[in-house]
């Protein structure tokens, strides 16, 4: 029997299929390079990227002069434009920092000065009457505020999906279920070992998020440690949305941005997150202590919100780097390797600018980059927001295809046509959670209690009952590479003294 041919050699392998990794792969695939995106999980955007607050930050409160400050500001502009091109839902309600103590009130001018130092000039200091004029439902005791008019809300799910689809359309090969366990360098080629087979590459970009320090160690480095920071959030029903028409931020502390109240592009209201440093990188379950903490904060921030029903509770893990207050993006030209580490909660906002910076870092390290002129147009992703027209509201679309008028998930108004499309699109849904992120199915008040069995039958019917595929090839004829539970009100839950143990959604 003849030996199997060696695996192809890619110009660049990007490890990590979250929003940053997808953005990097897309950016590099805009050049005459063969690119592979290597993801440990069974879907893109299935780790840190799926479970954040969905806020598109301006960077007004980042550390002046830091790489994070520069890239968040640039990323806000880039992602805003990209959302318009692809149909990613984004809204600009602005933000309000509400000071409740004399110490917080005294800190507001310094925050405004920090914004100016970061190049953001549109903040405004306002008094308590103006604060309550903007958000009447705030709890008593506010002493003043700072407005940030360009803070926005965005759909994190379709952001990652759009970037990954774009990368694929540009020729990137996407390998799912490929956790990297070793990196062996031989004659200028790095072999990334995975249980699903080797991946050979000339250059490697580590955008592995919570696992970035472990991948870094495979390349011979010991320069940082990721500490998972668990953030738990409560999702309130859409009936709560009139209470919150803008993002309400606390005055930030050294630990983080604190607990906020914010609308979502899906029509809900978020309360959270908590900030708990843990050791388990898989601990995405919610906790009784976390729920109790959020209830206390909610009673202080906006008591009326606690009269509304909770749709879900979820938790996400952020990749906090102990002792470091900035992104860590560094090249090792000898190993033909770039680390993209320390990307904290602002990673969504900065993702496209991080990708630009990685491209510049690779060029400065010796990678030959020649921009392509034959790029396909950006992909159109499913519109999951509440401010535009969804398929069930589109008469012309329903007339052309009645499946868009057949509602399957009544809480979120998701149709059979959308579920079908999500199962047959590039980077298709292969699991119920993947379908949630592409359609909002089972993500409403009943959390799939009513529609879950029907949705899962449709998913199995469209996918043949198979799990996710391990390899997502680029489309035909890409540009050739160079050789080589029912809800309860919070008041009811508080009276029962119970928290939620729902896993991340």
Supply the pLDDT for residue 474: 56
Q: Is the bond preceding 273 in cis, omega lying within 30 degrees of 0?
A: yes
Q: What is the widest separation between alpha-carbon atoms in the chain?
A: 82
Supply the pLDDT for residue 87: 97
pLDDT along the chain (505 residues), means of 10: 74 98 98 98 94 94 96 98 98 97 93 97 98 97 97 98 98 98 96 97 97 97 92 96 95 70 97 92 92 95 96 90 85 97 93 98 97 97 95 97 97 97 95 96 93 94 65 46 37 41 35
Supply the pLDDT for residue 322: 63
Catalytically annotated residues = 57
Supply the pLDDT for residue 52: 86
Supply the pLDDT for residue 481: 36
Q: How far is 345 from 275, CA to CA, in rounded Å?
A: 11
Supply the pLDDT for residue 320: 82
Supply the pLDDT for residue 27: 98
pTM score: 0.91
Q: How far is 147 from 156, CA to CA, in rounded Å?
A: 24
Supply the pLDDT for residue 7: 79
Q: How far is 210 from 214, CA to CA, in rounded Å?
A: 9
Q: Please report the beta strands in 237-327, taking only residues with DSSP state E, as ranges in sequence order.
A: 247-249, 260-263, 269-272, 276-277, 310-321
Supply the pLDDT for residue 258: 77
Encode pLDDT of 38-71 as tens digits.
999 999 999 999 988 999 999 999 999 999 999 9
Determine contact, residues 337/331, Cβ cutoff 8 Å: yes
Supply the pLDDT for residue 485: 35
Q: How many residues does the chain have?
A: 505
Encode pLDDT of 74-96 as tens digits.
999 999 999 999 999 999 999 99
């Amino acid at each position: 029997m003849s030996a199997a041919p060696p695996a192809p050699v890619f110009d660049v392998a990007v490890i990590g299929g979250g929003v940053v990794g997808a953005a990097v792969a897309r950016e590099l695939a805009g050049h005459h390079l063969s690119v592979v995106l290597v993801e440990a999980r069974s879907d893109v955007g299935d780790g840190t990227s799926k479970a954040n607050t969905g806020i598109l930050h301006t960077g007004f409160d980042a550390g002046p002069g830091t790489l994070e400050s520069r890239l968040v500001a640039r990323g806000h502009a880039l992602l805003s434009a990209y959302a318009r091109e692809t149909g990613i839902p984004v809204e600009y309600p602005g933000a309000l920092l509400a000071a409740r103590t004399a110490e917080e009130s005294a800190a507001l001018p310094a925050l405004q000065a920090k914004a100016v130092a970061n190049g953001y000039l549109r903040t405004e200091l306002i008094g308590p009457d103006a604060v309550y004029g903007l958000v009447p439902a705030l709890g008593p005791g506010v002493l003043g505020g700072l407005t940030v008019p360009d803070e926005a809300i965005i759909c994190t799910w379709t952001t990652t999906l759009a970037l990954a689809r774009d990368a694929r359309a540009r020729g990137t090969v996407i390998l799912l279920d490929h956790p990297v366990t070793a990196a062996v360098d031989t004659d200028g080629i790095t072999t990334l070992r995975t249980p699903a087979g080797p991946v050979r590459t000339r250059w490697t970009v580590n955008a592995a998020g919570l696992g970035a320090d472990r991948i870094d160690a495979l390349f011979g480095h010991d320069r940082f440690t990721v500490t998972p920071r668990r953030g738990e959030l409560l999702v309130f029903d859409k009936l709560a949305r009139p209470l919150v028409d803008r993002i309400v931020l606390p005055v930030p502390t050294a630990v983080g941005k604190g607990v906020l109240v914010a609308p979502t592009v899906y029509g809900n209201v978020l309360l959270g997150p908590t900030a708990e440093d843990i050791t388990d990188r898989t601990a995405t379950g919610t906790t009784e202590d976390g729920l109790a903490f959020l209830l206390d904060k909610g009673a202080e921030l906006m008591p009326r919100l606690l009269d509304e029903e909770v749709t879900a509770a979820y938790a996400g893990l952020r990749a906090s780097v102990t002792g470091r207050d900035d992104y860590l993006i560094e090249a090792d030209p000898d190993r033909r390797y770039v680390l993209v580490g320390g990307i904290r909660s602002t990673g969504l906002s900065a993702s496209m600018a991080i990708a630009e910076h990685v491209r510049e870092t690779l060029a400065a390290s010796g990678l030959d980059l020649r921009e392509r002129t034959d790029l396909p147009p950006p992909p159109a992703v499913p519109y999951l927001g509440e401010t535009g027209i969804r398929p069930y509201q589109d008469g012309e679309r329903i007339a052309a295809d009645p499946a868009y008028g057949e509602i399957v998930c009544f809480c979120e108004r998701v149709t059979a046509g959308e579920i079908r499309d999500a199962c047959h699109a590039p980077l298709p849904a292969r699991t119920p959670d993947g379908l949630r992120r592409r359609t909002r199915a089972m993500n409403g008040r009943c959390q799939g209690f009513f529609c879950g069995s029907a949705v899962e039958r449709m998913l199995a019917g469209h996918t043949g009952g198979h799990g996710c595929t391990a390899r997502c090839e680029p489309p035909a004829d890409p540009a050739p590479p160079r050789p080589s539970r029912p809800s309860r009100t919070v008041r009811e839950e508080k009276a029962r003294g119970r928290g939620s143990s729902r896993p991340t959604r």
